[in-house]
Chain A
Amino acid sequence: MISLAGLNLILPQLIIALAAVLVMLFIAVKRSHKFSFIFTLFAFAAAAISVLYIPRGSFGVSSLFVVDGFGKFFTVLIACAGFVITLMSYHYLNAREKRNEEYYILLLLSSLGALTMVISDHFVSFFLSLEVLSVSLYALIGYLKEEPAGIESGIKYLVLAAVSSSFLLFGISLIYMQTGHLDLSGIAAGLSPSGEFSGVFIAGLAMVIVGIGFKMALVPFHLWTPDIYAGASAPVSAFVATVSKGAVFAFLLRLFYSTGGLENKNVWTAFTIIAVASMLFGNWLALRQQNIKRLLAYSSIGHLGYLMVAFLAITDRGMQAATFYLVVYFIGMLAAFGTVIYMSNKKGEALYIDDYRGLFWKKPWLAAIFTTVMLSLAGIPLTAGFLGKLYLLTAGTEVGIWLLVIVLVVSSGIGLFYYLRVVAVMFAGKNENEASSEPVIGKIFPHGLVLTLLFLLLLWFGVYPSSLLEIIQQIASVIR
């Protein structure tokens, strides 16, 4: 039976779940956008802070979850991301949609899915977390229901996510068939340590890769990404780009490291091919993209490919690198979408690169932030992106996976092209025929503040990341 003693370990998840229910109840009583907004903010903050009250060490919770340093780290990361996204959503929703209270329920629920996923130690909990995340995302993506693009992307995401979930489920069932276990440790125990797996198990793994690869938007399961990013509202896109992918990646690490799935050479090769393809295709696709959200989508495909390099190193350092990079990626993507939100107006989002023409001369501070974000995503020093990439390269070089390392380098070279294109446009001459008198959504508070904060974080982690590195090294050693 479940004991209440274990519940303090999943305090953040409980807080978020409770908050979702409470927001719903409040709506039943009285609709208030502002209230829902503030309440959600507090919920995320509380979830992040509550991690401090979880004792150190690694504990199992009802065999579905394991709470350890790694999970806690990701919990904080996701809660913070949720916090930031909530902050950026308020004015955006005010401008673009009538009924907004449900948004916060869905946001909390999808965050809950992510939060439970990162501590999942069991296929059942993983699957349920994934579906909590997905189902809320279907609604979130299609949230702006007056816009055909929103509905379109919602349907696309639903169909594709359901297909990939089916693959995932089928895969899990095959694994279950082979091992008789659904918990990761049980699966690992039932396998030979040499990597000689039976066909059914392997086939199961392959189908699990399809499901996970889809959520992480790795090539060839990436096709949905640009359409969904472009069609969904910018805060939701930010959520999809960061929280959804990050949580799945965290589980990927757990799954493959604890079951030893990568011991199998073919699995490793498959992931290598996926990684190489993601890095190259993602960056190639972005080369001439004019739509900034699509561009970010492609870039995120590439970034997840980079993360796979660390994942495939299968070392302590690889885990640290992946974690560090993910943090950097979160910050970068949030700030990027934050800028898009800032620049959007009632009529629509600032989707096209041309919307940013001459931004530096109009809003130098915003342009500086966006530039830094682009440079960070491109991996230029003084920004955290550089150290992230350095860490990845270190991880890759340590074990000598040269193909991946070289592809990483080449593709980030390709990537540089489109990041710089955006930067160059911002610094180009002013847009003369700009007639849009519509004021932008962005406000100094909260958008300006949040963006500045993210900007400072990028610089801080880019110049003096020792504190973050310290934490990451600790949690990586916990998970081992």
Chain B
Amino acid sequence: MIYVPANMGLLLAAILFLLGLIGVLTRRNVLFILMSLEIMLNAAGLAFVVAGAHWMQADGQVMFIFILTMAAAEVSVGLALILQMHRHHKTVDTNVLNLLKD
């Protein structure tokens, strides 16, 4: 029915993925990092769906669903950790997380 070139789909996924990566690398606010992580995971999921559509299989979507689940679990634990961090440090700046270093 619909034809979307698989490599274009993958390219979009890659761009989103890398934007997410840039976000993780640049933002000091841990909430933004969390959001960027979601972008990356979503991009990976997008890639799976593109590939699944390409092979006309359900596996890609199944994988997307699992990624979705994982994102949810991760965000829940992540937010809990952020709350604790805020409690300890009164900030969401990741630069304060340098108690542990060489």
Q: Chain A interface (Cβ within 8 Å of chain B)? A: 124, 127-128, 131, 135, 138-139, 142, 145, 148-149, 151-156, 158-159, 162-163, 165-166, 169-170, 172-174, 176-177, 180, 182, 226-227, 230-231, 285, 289, 294
Residues of A within 8 A of B77 (CB): 135, 138-139, 158
The answer to whether B40 touches A163 (Cβ under 8 A) is: yes
Which A-chain residue is minimally distant from B14 (CB atoms)? A170
The answer to whether B73 touches A135 (Cβ under 8 A) is: yes
Residues of B within 8 A of A158 (CB): 74, 77-78, 81
Q: For chains A and B in complex, what number of residue pairs have CB atoms within 8 angstroms?
A: 130
Q: A151-B81, A159-B24, A176-B59 are in contact. Are A166 and B54 (CB under 8 A)?
A: no
The answer to whether B17 touches A227 (Cβ under 8 A) is: no
Q: A135-B74, A159-B33, A166-B41 are in contact. Are A174 and B10 (CB under 8 A)?
A: yes
CB distance from A332 to the nearest CB of B (A): 23
Residues of A within 8 A of B10 (CB): 173-174, 177
The answer to whether B81 touches A124 (Cβ under 8 A) is: no
Distance between Cα atoms of A226 and B73 in the complex (Å):
25
Distance between Cα atoms of A158 and B83 in the complex (Å):
14
Known: A131-B66, A138-B77. 5 other contacts (CB 8 A): A151-B88, A154-B81, A159-B30, A165-B70, A174-B10
CB distance from B50 to the nearest CB of A (A): 7
B97 at the A interface (CB under 8 A): yes
CB distance from B92 to the nearest CB of A (A): 10
The answer to whether B51 touches A176 (Cβ under 8 A) is: yes
The answer to whether A173 touches B48 (Cβ under 8 A) is: yes
The answer to whether A152 touches B99 (Cβ under 8 A) is: yes
Residues of B within 8 A of A230 (CB): 100
Distance between Cα atoms of A152 and B91 in the complex (Å):
12
The answer to whether B37 touches A159 (Cβ under 8 A) is: yes
Residues of B within 8 A of A227 (CB): 100-101
Residues of B within 8 A of A151 (CB): 81, 84-85, 88
B interface secondary structure, majority: helix
The answer to whether A177 touches B6 (Cβ under 8 A) is: yes
Kindly identify which residue among B37, B55, B80 contacts A163, using a CB–CB cutoff of 8 Å: B37
The answer to whether A169 touches B85 (Cβ under 8 A) is: no
Which A-chain residue is minimally distant from B45 (CB atoms)? A169
Distance between Cα atoms of A182 and B58 in the complex (Å):
11
Distance between Cα atoms of A138 and B73 in the complex (Å):
10
CB distance from A128 to the nearest CB of B (A): 6
Q: What sequence of 0s and 1s flags, for each residue 57-83 of chain B, a beta carbon within 8 Å of any chain A beta carbon?
A: 101101100110010011001101110
The 9 sampled A-B contact pairs (Cβ below 8 Å) are A124-B66, A142-B81, A152-B85, A165-B70, A169-B63, A173-B10, A173-B50, A173-B60, A176-B55
The answer to whether A170 touches B37 (Cβ under 8 A) is: no
The answer to whether B30 touches A155 (Cβ under 8 A) is: yes
Distance between Cα atoms of A162 and B34 in the complex (Å):
9
Kindly identify which residue among A166, A174, A176 contacts B37, using a CB–CB cutoff of 8 Å: A166
Distance between Cα atoms of A158 and B50 in the complex (Å):
27
Distance between Cα atoms of A142 and B82 in the complex (Å):
11
B12 at the A interface (CB under 8 A): no
Residues of A within 8 A of B28 (CB): none
Distance between Cα atoms of A142 and B17 in the complex (Å):
27
CB distance from A294 to the nearest CB of B (A): 7
Residues of A within 8 A of B40 (CB): 162-163, 166
Residues of A within 8 A of B81 (CB): 138, 142, 151, 154-155, 158
The answer to whether A152 touches B54 (Cβ under 8 A) is: no
Distance between Cα atoms of A230 and B99 in the complex (Å):
10
Distance between Cα atoms of A156 and B59 in the complex (Å):
32
CB distance from A343 to the nearest CB of B (A): 20
The answer to whether B70 touches A176 (Cβ under 8 A) is: no
The answer to whether A174 touches B30 (Cβ under 8 A) is: no
The answer to whether A127 touches B47 (Cβ under 8 A) is: no
The answer to whether A231 touches B100 (Cβ under 8 A) is: yes
Residues of A within 8 A of B60 (CB): 173, 176
Residues of A within 8 A of B80 (CB): 139
Residues of A within 8 A of B45 (CB): 169
Distance between Cα atoms of A231 and B100 in the complex (Å):
7
The answer to whether B74 touches A128 (Cβ under 8 A) is: no
Distance between Cα atoms of A127 and B65 in the complex (Å):
12
Q: A148-B89, A162-B41 are in contact. Are A176 and B48 (CB under 8 A)?
A: yes
Distance between Cα atoms of A154 and B36 in the complex (Å):
18
Distance between Cα atoms of A124 and B66 in the complex (Å):
8
Residues of B within 8 A of A138 (CB): 74, 77-78, 81
Q: Which B residues from 9 to 32 make CB contacts under 8 A with A? A: 10, 13-14, 17, 20-21, 24, 30
The answer to whether B84 touches A174 (Cβ under 8 A) is: no
Kindly identify which residue among A166, A176, A182, A294 contacts B17, using a CB–CB cutoff of 8 Å: A166
Kindly identify which residue among A124, A154, A294 contacts B62, using a CB–CB cutoff of 8 Å: A124
CB distance from A129 to the nearest CB of B (A): 11
Distance between Cα atoms of A173 and B63 in the complex (Å):
9
The answer to whether A135 touches B100 (Cβ under 8 A) is: no
What are the nearest 9 A-B pairs in CB distance?
A173-B47, A169-B44, A166-B40, A177-B51, A227-B100, A180-B55, A162-B37, A152-B97, A131-B70
Distance between Cα atoms of A170 and B48 in the complex (Å):
8
The answer to whether B48 touches A169 (Cβ under 8 A) is: yes
CB distance from B24 to the nearest CB of A (A): 6
